[in-house]
């Protein structure tokens, strides 16, 4: 079964490559209608001037994320899909065990009204929710930034602090203080960071696989209904098993 699946995949790959080659040949033969393909080569890590991103070998950076310039990512941190971390005018620091979730933007300002240029420093075991914007701010250890929140120049979120989803934190329009966090809520922030570190390992392992292996495994699971218990354990998924069918007793 495994050998047959690989053979089908190889044939499909050959057909697609042949089709693309014929398409390019036809375009060239058409002369004025010659099709010029423009490739966008995405680079997850990109230098800017003399500034280079530095990522710890145990950190996870999603393939569609962009780390540009003077960006440092600590051990066990995770930078998720669609994130942009741009350290051009100053540096960006991401601490150990911190997760920057999907589509978030971390940047520094070239200038502001105060004349100061702040780096963006995010401490250890911090959770930054989806689509947050952090610019020229400091987020201390084990703090929590909710989804869609915006933290601008000079903002400091203290240790165990929580910024609500959608909040705007800036000198002219500060977020409103609501209350202190409970011990359970403080513990949750650290647990959230730990859960994302574990989840990042599963994503890193999946992204490291060659395309051929990923496609074959997908086909194999679809054909056999196979469930990977080790993978489910890594991502914290719990799946209910289908009830076993038992033959009905004969009618009396």
Segment 43-77, tens digit of pLDDT: 888 887 778 899 999 999 998 999 988 999 999 99
Q: Is the pLDDT of residue 132 over 80?
A: yes
Find the helix or strand (DSSP H, E) in which 135 lies.
Answer: strand 133-135
**DSSP-derived 3-state class of residue 69:** strand
pLDDT given at position 183: 75
Question: How far is residue 73's CA from residue 96's CA, in Å, rounded to a whole number?
Answer: 7
pLDDT given at position 32: 57
Which CATH number applies to 45-185?
2.160.10.10
**DSSP-derived 3-state class of residue 139:** strand
Where in the chain are the domains?
45-185
pTM: predicted TM-score of the whole model, two decimal places: 0.62
* Residues, the chain: 252
Percent of the residues in the chain that have a pLDDT greater than 70, as a whole number = 62
Per-chain mean pLDDT for the chain: 76
DSSP for 72-130, written as a single string: EE-TT-EE-TT-EEEEEEEEEEE-TT-EE-TT-EEE--S--TTS----EEE-TT-EE-T
Question: How far is residue 55's CA from residue 77's CA, in Å, rounded to a whole number?
Answer: 9
């Amino acid at each position: 079964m495994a050998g047959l699946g690989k053979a089908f995949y190889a044939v499909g790959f050959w057909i697609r490559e042949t089709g693309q080659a014929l398409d390019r040949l036809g375009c060239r033969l058409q002369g004025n209608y010659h099709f010029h393909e423009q490739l966008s080569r995405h680079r997850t890590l990109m230098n800017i001037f003399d500034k280079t991103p530095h990522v710890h070998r145990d950190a996870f950076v999603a393939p569609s994320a962009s780390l540009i310039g003077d960006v440092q990512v600590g051990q066990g941190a995770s930078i998720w899909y669609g994130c942009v971390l741009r350290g051009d005018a100053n540096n960006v620091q991401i601490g150990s065990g911190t997760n920057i979730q999907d589509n978030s933007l971390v940047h520094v300002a070239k200038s502001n009204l105060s004349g100061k240029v702040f780096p963006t420093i995010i401490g250890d075991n911090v959770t930054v929710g989806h689509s947050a914007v952090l610019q020229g701010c400091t987020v201390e250890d084990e703090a929590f930034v909710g989804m869609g929140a915006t933290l601008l120049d000079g903002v400091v979120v203290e240790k165990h602090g929580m910024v609500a989803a959608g909040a705007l934190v800036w000198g002219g329009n500060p977020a409103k203080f609501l209350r202190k966090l409970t011990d359970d809520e403080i513990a949750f922030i650290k647990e959230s960071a730990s859960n994302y570190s574990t989840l990042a390992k599963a994503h890193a392992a999946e992204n490291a696989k060659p395309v051929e292996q990923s496609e074959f495994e997908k086909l194999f699971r679809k054909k056999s209904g196979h469930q990977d218990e080790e993978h489910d354990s890594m991502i914290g998924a719990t799946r209910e098993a289908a009830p076993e069918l038992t033959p009905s007793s004969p009618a009396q």
